[in-house]
């Protein structure tokens, strides 16, 4: 089949030309009329002139079209065989051999990449040329391969691409060197050196998947390439220039042909499967021995001898006359052996990962694909070749749950980094990008966590276990509108708390000025009033510069019932949980089975998943998050509805830390909307309905329910213990 393709192609092209000439031919008879009278001659002349004019304009339409703008319109309609032919003179210079000591800081011109706010490198692709030697023989037997074409297309479609040579940081030649075996080494090297911007290969990136050739199979491309970076498949530790080259996988075109649906991780029919067709005799003997010892758990496949050569044998494997479908059979095994052959890089690795089978890689000195960023220990088992006889015992010692995780990880690696030439190319460029802009590099989690884990895992921004010192205390932020009397009482109460560092009153009333300075209660700590531009609930969570402490106490202007001991204790608890919301009134969310949605609960429950921010300690960082990083339209929604800012804050903190809030001290009578049943039950009920709506709305914006339910609250160590009250640190707690 493969051999016939070029022929077929020519046939098609020829037919196109024939069709075209046929059309022109049919126009002939109309142009030769027979003349009989003068009148007629007159008519005919006139007619001919018009006709000729039309033809001329018609021709004009087509003529310049095919010459001038060929580069423009036929861009998408060209054949690779239309690429300009370039003859390489015999004595054309050959680049120096690759320098093993090359590193980014010695062989890479970083000035070309420069500082840019997007932290993205710019990649230029040379236009396609067909290089031939003096006598016209091409430098490569395949020319541009489908895979390399896919790769270059992907790059040109990506954000990395630039068509401006002078702005480029990285250059990708269009000379296909994926497979060394199809290359004429010397001529290819000469062709590289002829590239206009070659400059000793500086900032040039070559992609090669199959390096070396018989008999010794070098582990890096043999084409002399000076300082060019090599994205190579099958590097060994001796040819790989760490931090300079990029190790890439050997692409398996099979994956494009066969669709293997993802399978749930779990135990499979076979424990170990060997599917490679060319395994050295010494290894096969060892594998046979393992098979004898462990029986059915192992399946050793080989190529099928009785099948005719061709496509079918690629997709079949045999064991003792039994025929298995490849690569489908890979999905039937927990572990799949990937042994080195003459080459270190094996396309089988890609097939195995696609099947979600955990690769057991035995190739000493092999630099695993993208090992600079991928944590292969979580997706594969690497065993020294020498330990092949112990393979079974080693694999058996891996816990089941870990095997399942590895299966999932393997499949994810394939999907993200192996599945197409595009994936391979983009990963390579991203790795180089990470080196050039290390401060904007992708994190370990971004590279290694599959989407399902990324979704549920949390990386708390305040991950360091710290218990911050008691001083300088906390800043109390009181949100107020016009309840001055109550506000002053709150201020007076809070000012008694020993650890209070500062009071910040957020004046949310634009129509009325705050009272004169002399009228305010006298407090020992600095008191500042911030006037806001709009009456928004989110103003209470604004990261004001005036808040100089880490700890913030958000408090409503009507929370007068908290004692100084309770507040101080709350602050002490916050110090032990600086990454959580630490508050007084607790609330709960529940799943309403009848309605099929979330419900807000403020009754006396045994559980807590939220604390109200009418009185809560939290880290100032969350103010910054609330104001600038709140997902979706939640912030505006809250401001528009004038409700649920506390629920939004609870969602935000739980989502980013994965932790529940801490409710402190026993329940007391709070003057909060849900508790004022004075205005009648109906008001209370609408409030509850609104709050429930908030929870459902936020859960849908977050795409998940981040709130965590706990059954505990924090009390002082000696709370209600039979112990002299005066010896307790926080005696005045829980009084109603």
The footprint of another protein on residues 364-403 (CB under 8 A) is 364-365, 375, 377-378, 381-386, 394, 398-399, 401-402
Least distance to another protein, CB of residue 684, Å: 19
Least distance to another protein, CB of residue 62, Å: 6
Q: Which residues contact 546 (CB under 8 A, 6 or more apart)?
A: 475, 502, 504, 528, 530
Are 582 and 574 spatial neighbours (Cβ–Cβ below 8 Å)?
Answer: yes
Pick the piece of the chain touching another protein (CB under 8 A) from 86-94, 510-518, 617-625, 682-690. 617-625
Distance CA 544, CA 449 (A): 36
Site string for another protein, 548-567 (x = CB under 8 A): --x-----------------
Are 630 and 656 spatial neighbours (Cβ–Cβ below 8 Å)?
Answer: no
Q: With binding defined as CB under 8 A, does residue 612 bind another protein?
A: no
> 255 burial class (0-12, 13-18, 19+ CB within 10 angstroms)?
buried
Question: Which of 17, 22, 32, 77 forms a contact with another protein (CB under 8 A)?
Answer: 77
**Helix H or strand E encompassing 162:** none
Pick the piece of the chain touching another protein (CB under 8 A) from 72-80, 193-201, 412-420, 492-500. 72-80
Give whichever of 28 and 680 is closer to another protein, judged by the CB atom: 28
**Helix runs in 68-207, H state only:** 70-73, 104-107, 146-157, 185-193
Give whichever of 188 and 643 is closer to another protein, judged by the CB atom: 188
Q: With binding defined as CB under 8 A, does residue 314 bind another protein?
A: yes
Diameter of the chain by CA atoms? 137
Are 580 and 659 spatial neighbours (Cβ–Cβ below 8 Å)?
Answer: yes
Question: Which of 15, 87, 97, 103 forms a contact with another protein (CB under 8 A)?
Answer: 103
Distance CA 714, CA 720 (A): 13
Query: What letter does residue 156 receive in the DSSP assignment?
Result: H
Site string for another protein, 441-460 (x = CB under 8 A): x-xxx--x----x-xxxxxx
Q: With binding defined as CB under 8 A, does residue 238 bind another protein?
A: yes
Q: Which residues contact 26 (CB under 8 A, 6 or more apart)?
A: none
Least distance to another protein, CB of residue 522, Å: 29
Least distance to another protein, CB of residue 96, Å: 17
Pick the piece of the chain touching another protein (CB under 8 A) from 129-137, 673-681, 689-697, 708-716. 708-716
Q: With binding defined as CB under 8 A, does residue 580 bind another protein?
A: no
Give whichever of 444 and 591 is closer to another protein, judged by the CB atom: 444
Give whichever of 221 and 487 is closer to another protein, judged by the CB atom: 221
Give whichever of 411 and 697 is closer to another protein, judged by the CB atom: 411
Q: Which residues contact 208 (CB under 8 A, 6 or more apart)?
A: 177, 178, 179, 180, 220, 221, 230, 231, 232, 233
DSSP, residue by residue, 222-241: -S--TT-EEEESS-BTTT--
Say how many C-beta atoms besides its own lie within 10 A of residue 632's C-beta: 13
Question: Which of 408, 540, 620, 697 forms a contact with another protein (CB under 8 A)?
Answer: 620
Pick the piece of the chain touching another protein (CB under 8 A) from 141-149, 196-204, 263-271, 506-514. 141-149
Least distance to another protein, CB of residue 233, Å: 11
Residue that the structure tokens 């089949």 belong to? 1
CA distances from residue 339 to 364, 486, 528 in whole angstroms, order as listed: 10, 77, 71
Q: With binding defined as CB under 8 A, does residue 43 bind another protein?
A: yes
Give whichever of 575 and 599 is closer to another protein, judged by the CB atom: 575
At residue 392, the 3 state secondary structure works out as: helix
Query: What letter does residue 267 receive in the DSSP assignment?
Result: -
Least distance to another protein, CB of residue 550, Å: 5
**Helix H or strand E encompassing 14:** helix 4-26
Give whichever of 229 and 487 is closer to another protein, judged by the CB atom: 229
> 391 burial class (0-12, 13-18, 19+ CB within 10 angstroms)?
buried
Question: Which of 199, 217, 218, 323 forms a contact with another protein (CB under 8 A)?
Answer: 217
Site string for another protein, 637-676 (x = CB under 8 A): ---------------------xxx--xx-xx---------
Nearest CA-CA partner of 610 in 579, 573, 637, 583: 583
Least distance to another protein, CB of residue 336, Å: 14
Q: Which residues between 48 and 67 bind another protein (CB under 8 A)?
A: 50-51, 54-55, 57-58, 61-62, 65
> The dihedral of CA 408, 409, 411, 415: what is its sign?
positive
Pick the piece of the chain touching another protein (CB under 8 A) from 27-35, 293-301, 425-433, 683-691. 27-35
Question: Which of 85, 467, 675, 689 forms a contact with another protein (CB under 8 A)?
Answer: 467
Question: Which of 107, 139, 144, 272 forms a contact with another protein (CB under 8 A)?
Answer: 144
Site string for another protein, 171-200 (x = CB under 8 A): -----x-xx-xx------------------
At residue 577, the 3 state secondary structure works out as: coil
Say how many C-beta atoms besides its own lie within 10 A of residue 343's C-beta: 21
Q: With binding defined as CB under 8 A, does residue 30 bind another protein?
A: yes
Q: With binding defined as CB under 8 A, does residue 95 bind another protein?
A: no
Q: How far apart are the first and last CA of the chain?
A: 88
Pick the piece of the chain touching another protein (CB under 8 A) from 154-162, 410-418, 476-484, 647-655. 154-162
Q: Which residues between 320 and 349 bind another protein (CB under 8 A)?
A: 340-343, 345-348
At residue 661, the 3 state secondary structure works out as: coil
Tokens representing 118 are 């997007």
Give whichever of 142 and 495 is closer to another protein, judged by the CB atom: 142
Q: With binding defined as CB under 8 A, does residue 32 bind another protein?
A: no
Distance CA 277, CA 205 (A): 32
Strands 333-339 and 474-480: unpaired
Are 344 and 250 spatial neighbours (Cβ–Cβ below 8 Å)?
Answer: no
Distance CA 109, CA 121 (A): 12
CA distances from residue 557 to 485, 542, 561 in whole angstroms, order as listed: 9, 17, 11
Least distance to another protein, CB of residue 335, Å: 12
**Total site size for another protein, rule CB under 8 A:** 184
Q: Which residues between 488 and 507 bind another protein (CB under 8 A)?
A: none
Q: With binding defined as CB under 8 A, does residue 525 bind another protein?
A: no
Least distance to another protein, CB of residue 364, Å: 5
Give whichever of 69 and 676 is closer to another protein, judged by the CB atom: 69
Q: With binding defined as CB under 8 A, does residue 75 bind another protein?
A: yes
Distance CA 63, CA 393 (A): 75
Give whichever of 210 and 644 is closer to another protein, judged by the CB atom: 210
Distance CA 102, CA 227 (A): 7
Question: Which of 166, 518, 606, 682 forms a contact with another protein (CB under 8 A)?
Answer: 606
Question: Which of 131, 474, 569, 600 forms a contact with another protein (CB under 8 A)?
Answer: 569
Question: Which of 543, 560, 564, 683 forms a contact with another protein (CB under 8 A)?
Answer: 543
Query: Between helices 645-657 and 634-641, what is the axis angle to 10°?
Result: 160
Least distance to another protein, CB of residue 689, Å: 23
Nearest CA-CA partner of 286 in 363, 366, 391: 391
Q: Is the peptide bond before 163 cis (omega within 30 degrees of 0)?
A: no
Question: Which of 464, 524, 677, 678 forms a contact with another protein (CB under 8 A)?
Answer: 464
Q: With binding defined as CB under 8 A, does residue 276 bind another protein?
A: yes
Pick the piece of the chain touching another protein (CB under 8 A) from 39-47, 292-300, 646-654, 671-679. 39-47
């Amino acid at each position: 089949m493969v051999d016939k393709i070029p022929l077929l192609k020519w046939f098609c092209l020829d037919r196109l030309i024939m069709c075209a000439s046929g059309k022109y031919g049919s126009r002939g008879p109309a142009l030769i009329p027979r003349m009989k009278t003068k009148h007629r001659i007159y008519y005919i002349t006139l007619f001919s002139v018009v006709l000729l004019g039309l033809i001329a304009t018609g021709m004009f339409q087509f003529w310049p079209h095919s010459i001038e703008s060929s580069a423009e319109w036929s861009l998408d309609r060209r054949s690779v065989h239309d690429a300009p032919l370039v003859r390489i003179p015999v004595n054309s210079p050959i680049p120096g051999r690759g320098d093993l000591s090359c590193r980014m800081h010695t062989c890479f011109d970083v000035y070309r990449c420069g500082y840019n706010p997007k932290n993205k490198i710019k990649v230029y692709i040379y236009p396609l040329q067909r290089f031939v030697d003096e006598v016209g023989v091409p430098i490569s037997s395949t020319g541009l391969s489908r895979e390399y074409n896919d790769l270059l297309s992907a790059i040109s479609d990506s954000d990395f691409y630039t068509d401006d040579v002078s702005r480029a940081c990285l250059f990708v030649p269009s000379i296909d060197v994926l497979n060394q075996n199809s290359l004429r080494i010397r001529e290819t090297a000469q062709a590289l050196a002829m590239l206009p911007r070659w400059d000793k290969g500086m900032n040039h990136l070559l992609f090669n998947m199959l390096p070396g050739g018989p008999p010794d199979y070098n582990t890096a491309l043999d084409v002399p390439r000076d300082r060019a970076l090599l994205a190579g498949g099958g590097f060994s530790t001796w040819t790989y220039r760490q931090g300079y080259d990029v190790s890439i996988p050997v692409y398996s075109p099979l994956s494009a042909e066969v669709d293997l649906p993802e399978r749930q991780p779990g135990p499979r029919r076979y424990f170990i499967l060997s599917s490679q067709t060319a395994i050295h005799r010494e290894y096969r003997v060892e594998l046979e021995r393992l098979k004898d010892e462990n029986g059915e758990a192992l399946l050793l496949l080989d190529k099928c001898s009785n099948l005719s050569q061709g496509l079918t044998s690629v997709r079949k494997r045999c064991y003792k006359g039994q025929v298995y479908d490849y690569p489908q059979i890979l999905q039937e095994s927990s572990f799949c052996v990937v042994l080195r052959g003459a080459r270190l890089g094996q396309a089988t690795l890609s097939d195995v990962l696609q099947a979600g089978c955990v690769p057991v890689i035995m190739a000493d000195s092999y630099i695993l694909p993208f090992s600079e960023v991928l944590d292969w220990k979580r997706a594969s088992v690497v065993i020294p070749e020498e330990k092949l006889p112990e393979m079974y015992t080693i694999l058996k010692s891996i816990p089941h749950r870990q095997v399942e995780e590895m299966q999932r990880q393997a499949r994810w690696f394939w999907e993200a980094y192996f599945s197409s030439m595009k994936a391979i190319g983009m990963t390579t460029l991203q790795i180089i990008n990470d080196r050039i802009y290390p401060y904007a590099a992708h994190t370990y989690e971004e590279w290694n966590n599959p989407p399902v884990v990324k979704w549920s895992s949390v990386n708390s921004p305040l991950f360091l276990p710290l218990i911050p010192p008691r001083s300088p205390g906390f800043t109390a932020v009181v949100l107020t509108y016009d309840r001055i009397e109550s506000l002053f009482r709150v201020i007076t109460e809070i000012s008694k708390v020993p650890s209070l560092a500062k009071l910040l009153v957020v004046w949310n009333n634009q129509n009325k000025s705050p009272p004169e300075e002399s009228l305010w209660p006298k407090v020992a700590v600095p008191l500042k009033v911030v006037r806001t531009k709009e009456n928004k609930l989110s103003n209470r969570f604004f990261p004001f510069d005036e808040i100089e402490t880490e700890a913030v106490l958000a408090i409503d202007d009507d929370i007068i019932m908290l004692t100084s001991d309770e507040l101080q204790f709350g602050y002490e608890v916050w110090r032990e949980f600086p990454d959580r919301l630490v508050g007084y009134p607790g609330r709960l969310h529940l799943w309403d089975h009848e309605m099929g949605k979330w419900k807000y609960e403020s009754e006396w429950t045994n559980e807590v998943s939220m604390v109200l921010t009418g009185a809560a300690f939290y880290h100032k960082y969350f103010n910054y998050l609330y104001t600038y990083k709140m997902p979706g339209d939640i912030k505006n929604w809250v401001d528009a509805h004038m409700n649920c800012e506390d629920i939004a804050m609870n969602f935000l903190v739980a989502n980013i830390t994965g932790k529940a809030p801490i409710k402190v001290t026993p329940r007391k009578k709070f003057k909060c909307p849900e508790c004022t049943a004075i205005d009648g039950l109906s008001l209370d009920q609408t409030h509850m309905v609104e709050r429930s709506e908030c929870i459902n709305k936020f859960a849908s914006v977050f795409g998940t329910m981040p709130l965590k339910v706990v059954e505990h609250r924090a009390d002082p160590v000696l709370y209600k213990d039979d112990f002299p009250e005066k010896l307790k640190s926080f005696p005045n707690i829980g009084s109603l």
